[in-house]
Amino acid sequence: MAHVSATVYTSHVPAIGAALDHGRAAEPYWAPVFAGYEASRAWLREDPPDAIVLVFNDHATAFGPDLVPTFAIGTGESYAPADEGWGARPVPVVQGHPELAAHIAQSVIQDDFDLTLVNRMDVDHGLTVPLSLLFGQPPAHDFRWPCPVIPLAVNVVQYPVPSGRRCLALGRAIRKAIESYGEDLNVQVWGTGGMSHQLQGPRAGLINPVFDHAFMDMLTTVPEAAAAIPHVDYVREAGSEGIELVMWLVARGAMPERADGRAPTCVHRFYHVPASNTALGHLVLAP
């Protein structure tokens, strides 16, 4: 049967994609950011996934004020990089996994989560930047991502947004669905977004390393405590866009629990300030 072999967590700062796309990754400002992912890239090369469920938020490209699903799963064959106002990123089209996505949708909806099914959408930096960070830029002679990706969009833009508890529970339902899929697949679940940042208002530029490190600690060892953080605490401590961290809880819920009750193994952990106007965080957890 399919299984969740690991969960991956990363920020999805759009300026990171621009730095890669314009050949600036080796510049002194950006080099430490990309160096922080080298260990994870090596780990992925040693044990590549057969498929990824990638949790992200849309930034008004696939969805807008007229349609704001709380949770939406991509069930299509493929997803083109979105034009976010300055042209689409020069990265490959994302290939989906319709069979696994349909199975997850069936299972999760029967477990009382009301997913929106999306058969066609473009995907923006929220999905493509994590792929670039963890896989690098695909070469011209083999211009494709290494494996199929199932997009799972979470609304963290338009209130009301889902609670951390709901996101953690959704992750557990996704794990149950994956483990009941009748094909031997190595599946990873990635949670993206964050960490602390605020893009507007008097507190624009806010970054809170203390909160960010505490969140990564809780997420790893006591996810229920992280899931209990109320929305107002995210806004107060991590800025208005810090609420994106609830998407990490979906991935954490998908992590298989150890029989002895201990925390999962931390394969890699990285934190860097600043990446553009955002605190960048990255974790890899394995059962």
Q: Summarize pLDDT for 74-133 with one digit per residue, the tens.
A: 999 999 999 998 899 999 999 999 999 999 999 999 999 999 999 999 999 999 999 999
Catalytic residue among 125, 268, 272, 282: 125
Please name which of 249, 174, 179, 239 lies closest in space to residue 204, comparing C-alpha atoms: 239
Whole-angstrom distance, CA of residue 68 vs CA of residue 214: 30
Query: Terminus-to-terminus CA distance in the chain, angstroms?
Result: 17
> Which pLDDT score, from 0 to 100, does residue 259 have?
84
The angle formed by the CA atoms of residues 278, 224 and 127, to the nearest 5 degrees, is: 40
Where does the pLDDT of residue 258 fall: very low under 50, low under 70, confident under 90, or very high at 90 and above?
confident
Could you say which of 3.40.830.10, 1.10.490.10, 3.30.10.20, 3.20.20.60 is the CATH number of the domain covering 3-276? 3.40.830.10
Token couple for 179? 């483990």
50 pLDDT above the threshold of 90: yes
- Determine whether 103 is an active site residue: no
Q: What is the pTM of this model?
A: 0.97
Q: Summarize pLDDT for 152-179 with one digit per residue, the tens.
A: 999 999 999 999 999 999 999 999 999 9
Whole-angstrom distance, CA of residue 120 vs CA of residue 2: 25
- Determine whether 125 is an active site residue: yes
Catalytic residue among 197, 268, 272, 282: 197
Q: Summarize pLDDT for 180-209 with one digit per residue, the tens.
A: 999 999 999 999 999 999 999 999 999 999
Q: DSSP secondary structure string, the chain? A: --EEEEEEEE---HHHHHHHHTT-TTSTTTHHHHHTTHHHHHHHHHS--SEEEEEE---SSS-BTTB--SEEEE-SSEEPBPB-SS-B-SSPPEE--HHHHHHHHHHHHHTT--PEEESS--B-HHHHHHHHHHH-PPPGGG-S-SS-EEEEEE--SSSS---HHHHHHHHHHHHHHHHT-SS--EEEEEEE--SS---SSTTTT---HHHHHHHHHHHHH-HHHHHT--HHHHHHHH-GGGGGGHHHHHHHHHSPPPTT-PPPEEEEEEEEEEETTEEEEEEEEE-
Phi first, then psi: what are they for 273, rounded to 5°? -135, 135
